[in-house]
C-alpha cells in the first residue's frame, strides 16, 4: 500500500506514544474505518517518532521512520555540523549516497545546499522523499549508489553535484542481518575501496565511519575527525580534498548536548598521523578521564601536554596531576583512597562507608563494572545512603604492575 494512501495526518494524534493505550488506540482507528494495515502503520510511526524525539528533536514529528533507519540516524546537531563544513568549503550542492531516511540530507537542505539523496531500498527512499518534501531543491533517487558516477548526479539546476557525502551501511552476512560492529571497511556498502576511488577523482568528499575505525586503514590524504556529542563518541568522519582542512591529519571535536544545534565545546587537532608518547607519572591527588573522542583519535598525549597532566600508564588513557584541571575534554576526580581489587576488601569498604549507589569506571583491567557492582551492593539488608565512584585501573609496569581500585570524588 503506497504511503500516500495512509492517513499520515493521524500519526501526530498518537505522539507521544503510550504503549499502555495501544489497544484502545487501535480500536479507535478501526472504529473510524481504517484498515488493519493502516492502523499498524500509524501506531508504529507514532512509536518511532516518540523514540526519535530524543535523538533529533521535534523534527521527528514530521518524519516517516523505520526501526533500522532510526538506529543508524545521525543526530541532528551532528548532521548540522556536517552541513556547516560543506558550506564553509564553498560547496552549493551535495549527493548523499546511501542516505537512509535522509537525516544528513535534511541538514544539508536546511543549510541551503541543493541535495541529491540516493537510497537503494524502495520503502526507505519513499520515506526519505516524504521527509524532504519541504525542500524544493532536493531530490531522491532509488538506486545503488555504487552504480552511479558522480558526473551523472545532477543538482536542481541540472549541473553535476559539487560534493559527495557517504554513510556506508553494514552488509548482511550470510543472509542474516547483524547488529555487531564490523571493522572490515570492505564489509560496508559501499566498500571502503569504492570510497577511495571516488576520493581519487578529486571531488570534495566526506565519509562517516564508526568511531572504532582502526587508524591503520585511514588514508594519509584525508583529515580524520572523531566527534563526541553530549559526551558520547558517535563517529569518525574522513574529509577528503577541498573538505579537508589544510595541515590537519587528526582531530577530536566535542559538541555539547544540545540535540538540534552544534555547540562546539572544544577541538583538539594534530598535524601528524600519530602523536609522540606522553610523559607518565605516579598517581597524584587528581585523576582525569579524557573524552572518548580524544582517546579514539590518539590525542591523549596532546591533551596531557595542553593541560599539564601526565599519563598513569602509556597504554591507559587516565591522566593525573597534583592540582585540579578544568578542560571540556576532561572529567576530573579527586583521589580519596586506593585499594587492591579484591572482592572481599571492596565489599567491606562498601559496608563500612554505607554506600548504596556506586559508579564504577575502568580502563586497563578485564572486569565488568556491572557484574562487580551487583556483587558489591548485594546481600545487605540495609542499603547505604551514600554515593561513591570507583575507578579500576592498573598502576606500574612489568612485575611492579598492580590492579587498583581508586575511590574518587567527581570534581564540579
pLDDT digits (tens, 9 = 90+) for 26-42: 999 999 999 999 999 99
**299 and 214, same domain (yes or no):** no
pTM flag (> 0.85): yes
What average pLDDT does the segment 388-396 reach? 93
Please report how the helices 103-110 and 122-131 are oriented relative to each other, as an axis angle in degrees rounded to 10.
30
- What pLDDT, on the 0 to 100 scale, is given for residue 312? 93
**249 and 157, same domain (yes or no):** yes
How does residue 229 score in pLDDT terms, banded at 50, 70 and 90? Answer: very high
| Strand-strand pairing, 330-340 and 286-290 | antiparallel
Share of the chain above pLDDT 70, in %: 95
Radius of gyration of the chain (CA): 25
pLDDT of 175 higher than 70: no
pLDDT digits (tens, 9 = 90+) for 305-334: 999 999 999 889 999 999 999 999 999 999
- Let me know if residue 399 belongs to a domain: yes
Residue 48 CA, chain-centre distance (Å), reads 19
pLDDT of 130 higher than 60: yes
- Let me know if residue 122 belongs to a domain: yes
**113 and 40, same domain (yes or no):** no
pLDDT of 178 higher than 70: no
What average pLDDT does the segment 217-243 reach? 97
- In sequence order, the β-bridge partners of residue 225 are 237, 251
Among residues 364, 357, 322, the alpha carbon closest in space to that of 341 is found at 364
To the nearest whole number, what is the mean pLDDT of the chain?
92
- Let me know if residue 187 belongs to a domain: yes
How many residues are listed for the chain in this entry? 412
Enumerate residues 6+ apart whose C-beta is below 8 A from 137: 109, 113, 114, 115, 155, 156
**DSSP secondary-structure letter at 19?**
G
- What pLDDT, on the 0 to 100 scale, is given for residue 406? 97
What average pLDDT does the segment 229-256 reach? 97
**343 and 392, same domain (yes or no):** yes
How does residue 184 score in pLDDT terms, banded at 50, 70 and 90? Answer: confident
- Let me know if residue 62 belongs to a domain: no
Long-range contacts of residues 144-153, Cβ cutoff 8 Å, at least 24 apart = 144/120, 145/97, 145/98, 145/118, 145/120, 145/190, 146/189, 146/190, 146/194, 148/97, 148/118, 150/95, 150/198, 150/201, 150/203, 153/95, 153/116, 153/118
**DSSP secondary-structure letter at 63?**
-
Kindly report the number of other CB atoms within 10 A of residue 134's CB atom.
10
Among residues 34, 47, 49, 33, the alpha carbon closest in space to that of 1 is found at 34
- Whether the CA torsion 231, 47, 77, 219 is positive or negative: it is positive
Which of residues 244, 270, 296 is at a domain's end? 270
Q: What is the CATH number of the domain that holds 98?
A: 3.40.50.150
- Let me know if residue 281 belongs to a domain: no
Which of residues 270, 295, 329 is at a domain's end? 270
**226-to-41, 84, 207, 295, 332 alpha-carbon distances in Å:** 37, 16, 12, 9, 21
What average pLDDT does the segment 290-296 reach? 98
Q: Rounded CA gap, 365 and 362, in Å? A: 7
pLDDT of 227 higher than 70: yes
- What pLDDT, on the 0 to 100 scale, is given for residue 173? 38
- What pLDDT, on the 0 to 100 scale, is given for residue 171? 46
Q: Do residues 76 and 56 lie in contact, with contact meaning Cβ atoms separated by under 8 Å?
A: yes
**85 and 136, same domain (yes or no):** yes
**253 and 305, same domain (yes or no):** no
Range of the domain at 343: 286-410
Among residues 258, 277, 281, 256, the alpha carbon closest in space to that of 266 is found at 256
- Let me know if residue 260 belongs to a domain: yes
pLDDT digits (tens, 9 = 90+) for 351-376: 999 999 999 999 999 999 999 999 99
Enumerate residues 6+ apart whose C-beta is below 8 A from 37: 1
- Let me know if residue 243 belongs to a domain: yes
**262-to-34, 130, 250, 373 alpha-carbon distances in Å:** 41, 25, 20, 35
- What pLDDT, on the 0 to 100 scale, is given for residue 382? 60
**120 and 248, same domain (yes or no):** yes
Domains of the chain: total: 3
**304 and 229, same domain (yes or no):** no
**86 and 143, same domain (yes or no):** yes
**19-to-44, 46, 56 alpha-carbon distances in Å:** 10, 10, 21
- Whether the CA torsion 56, 58, 64, 65 is positive or negative: it is positive
Kindly report the number of other CB atoms within 10 A of residue 301's CB atom.
20
What average pLDDT does the segment 247-251 reach? 97
**41 and 98, same domain (yes or no):** no
Q: Do residues 364 and 313 lie in contact, with contact meaning Cβ atoms separated by under 8 Å?
A: yes
What average pLDDT does the segment 180-193 reach? 72
Residue 238 CA, chain-centre distance (Å), reads 14
**100 and 237, same domain (yes or no):** yes
**202 and 162, same domain (yes or no):** yes
pLDDT of 200 higher than 80: yes
- Let me know if residue 78 belongs to a domain: yes
How does residue 84 score in pLDDT terms, banded at 50, 70 and 90? Answer: very high
Amino acid at each position: 500500500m503506497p504511503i500516500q494512501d495512509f492517513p499520515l495526518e493521524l500519526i501526530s494524534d498518537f505522539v507521544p506514544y503510550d504503549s499502555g493505550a495501544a489497544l484502545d488506540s487501535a480500536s479507535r482507528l478501526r472504529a473510524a474505518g481504517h484498515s488493519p494495515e493502516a492502523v499498524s502503520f500509524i501506531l508504529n510511526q507514532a512509536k518511532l517518532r516518540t523514540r526519535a524525539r530524543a535523538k533529533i528533536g521535534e523534527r521527528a514529528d514530521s518524519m516517516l521512520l523505520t526501526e533500522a533507519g532510526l538506529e543508524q540516524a545521525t543526530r541532528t546537531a551532528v548532521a548540522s555540523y556536517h552541513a556547516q563544513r560543506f558550506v564553509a568549503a564553498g560547496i552549493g550542492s551535495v549527493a548523499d549516497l546511501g542516505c537512509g531516511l535522509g537525516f544528513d540530507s535534511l541538514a544539508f537542505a536546511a543549510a541551503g545546499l541543493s541535495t541529491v539523496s540516493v537510497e537503494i531500498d524502495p520503502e526507505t527512499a519513499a520515506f526519505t522523499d516524504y521527509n524532504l518534501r519541504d525542500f524544493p531543491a532536493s531530490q531522491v533517487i532509488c538506486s545503488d549508489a555504487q552504480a552511479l558516477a558522480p558526473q551523472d548526479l545532477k543538482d536542481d539546476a541540472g549541473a553535476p553535484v559539487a560534493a559527495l557525502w557517504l554513510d556506508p551501511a553494514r552488509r548482511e552476512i550470510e543472509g542474516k542481518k547483524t547488529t555487531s560492529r564490523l571493522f572490515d571497511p570492505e564489509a560496508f556498502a559501499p566498500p571502503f575501496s569504492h570510497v577511495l576511488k571516488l576520493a581519487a577523482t578529486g571531488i570534495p568528499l566526506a565519509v562517516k565511519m564508526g568511531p572504532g575505525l582502526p587508524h591503520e586503514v585511514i588514508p594519509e590524504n584525508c583529515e580524520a575527525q572523531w566527534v563526541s556529542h553530549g559526551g558520547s563518541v558517535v563517529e569518525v568522519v574522513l574529509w577528503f580534498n577541498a573538505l579537508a582542512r589544510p595541515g590537519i591529519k587528526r582531530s577530536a571535536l566535542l559538541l555539547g548536548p544540545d540535540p538540534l544545534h552544534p555547540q562546539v565545546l572544544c577541538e583538539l587537532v594534530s598535524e601528524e598521523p600519530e602523536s609522540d608518547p606522553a610523559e607518565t607519572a605516579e598517581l597524584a591527588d587528581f585523576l582525569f578521564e579524557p573524552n572518548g573522542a580524544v582517546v579514539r583519535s590518539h590525542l591523549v598525549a596532546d591533551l596531557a601536554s595542553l593541560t599539564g597532566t601526565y599519563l598513569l600508564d602509556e597504554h591507559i588513557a587516565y591522566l593525573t596531576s597534583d592540582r585540579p584541571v578544568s578542560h571540556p575534554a576532561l572529567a576530573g576526580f579527586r583521589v580519596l583512597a586506593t585499594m587492591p581489587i579484591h572482592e572481599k576488601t571492596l565489599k567491606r569498604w562498601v559496608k563500612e562507608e554505607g554506600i548504596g549507589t556506586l559508579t564504577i569506571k575502568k580502563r586497563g583491567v578485564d572486569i565488568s563494572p556491572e557484574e562487580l557492582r551487583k556483587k558489591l551492593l548485594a546481600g545487605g539488608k540495609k542499603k547505604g545512603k551514600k554515593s561513591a565512584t570507583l575507578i579500576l585501573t592498573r598502576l606500574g609496569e612489568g612485575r611492579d604492575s598492580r590492579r587498583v581500585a581508586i575511590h574518587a570524588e567527581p570534581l564540579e
